[in-house]
Amino acid sequence: MTYQLPYRPRRLRSSSAIRALVEECQLTASDFVLPVFVTEETSPSEISSMPGVFRWPAVGIEEKVREWRQMGIRAFALFPKIDPQKKDGSGSEILNPDSLVYRTAAAINRLNLDIVLIADLALDPYTTHGQDGVLLPDGVVDNDQTVEILANASMVCAGAGFDMVAPSDMMDGRVGIIRKTLDENSFQHTGIISYSAKFASSYYGPFRSAIKSSSAEGGVDKRTYQLNPSNLKEAKRELWLDFQEGADMLMVKPAEPYLDLIYYAHTNINLPIAAYQVSGEYSRIMAADQLGWLDWKKCALESLVCIKRAGANLIFSYFADRIVSELD
């Protein structure tokens, strides 16, 4: 029996050539930002909770960046593992122009590789207590004092050659103050990728271990500034506030658990939208692969294409350097 069906969608899936012809969403190397952990150590060290991801020595990292650039990756976000002896309660090392991440950025810039360098603008790597801000005597994070430090740090970032700063702290008003500070100090061309909707997520653990943040030890509660995963309206408000304060791009973090918000931002706000496929998203896929339950490559590709389909214009991903070789 043959039915007289007016529509047979399977015709568009009947061969690999037809499927490729009608494919709606494709990943390219230029979609990616590769997060790079840098350290004062003299040799690369693999992060145990992130198999295949390394902390790279700042000395000699230029050759690694050349290698990644040859793969087609053109954007990098640098995250420092700071010597514990350089940490204090206010994260003052972030204002040291000779600090690890600034020296690394300057060295990479001397390569003239036509790439984008993004600075993480947060105090977490620099504070002894692991919070993303300065603490008042009662333990509450001081919003405005923290913003003042970040605004000053944005100038250090720009002076070191970072193309964009990415405030990831979730303090109120920081995008506007950072933009004003940069503009008033002749850094009008330094862009801002704002972590506009950063949730108080359980997926950040491997990252905190990678940078040896004090928050990796547990007991650090960031819910007074990071978003409640239950709150969509609040997240939308944060996106619009950062848009109004002058951000050049808006970010949703984590990515895959918040595809609905990525889609909202893409369809409603006339700015490029970034999504951060965070360390926990990476680690759960790799752990399942090591147990023989999933194929990491297939799962990574599926996750990444879903993030792009939801509306992300750029994706921060620890898979970037291994996935680009799988792309057509």
Looking at the annotation, which residues are catalytic?
198, 253
CA 106 remoteness from chain centre = 20
> Beta strands of 143-279 (E only): which ranges?
164-167, 191-198, 249-253, 273-277
DSSP class of residue 260 equals H
Q: Which of 242, 127, 111, 119 is CA-nearest to residue 175?
A: 242
Beta partners for residue 191, in sequence order: 164
For 80, 83, 229, the CA distances from 56, given in Å and listed in that order, are: 10, 14, 32
The enclosing H or E element of 232 equals helix 232-245
Distance of CA 273 to the CA centre of its chain: 12
DSSP state of 105: H
> Residue 133 in contact with residue 181, Cβ under 8 Å?
no
CA atoms within 13 A on the CB side of 60: 9
Cα 166 to Cα 158: distance, rounded to the nearest angstrom: 12
User: DSSP character for 127?
Assistant: B
Q: What φ, ψ does residue 130 adopt, rounded to 5°?
A: 85, 0
Q: Decide: 194 and 253 in contact? Cβ < 8 Å.
A: no
**Helix 296-310 vs helix 279-290: crossing angle, to nearest 10:** 150
- Give helix 174-184 / helix 232-245 axis angle, nearest 10°: 10
**Tokens 């008003």 label which residue?**
173
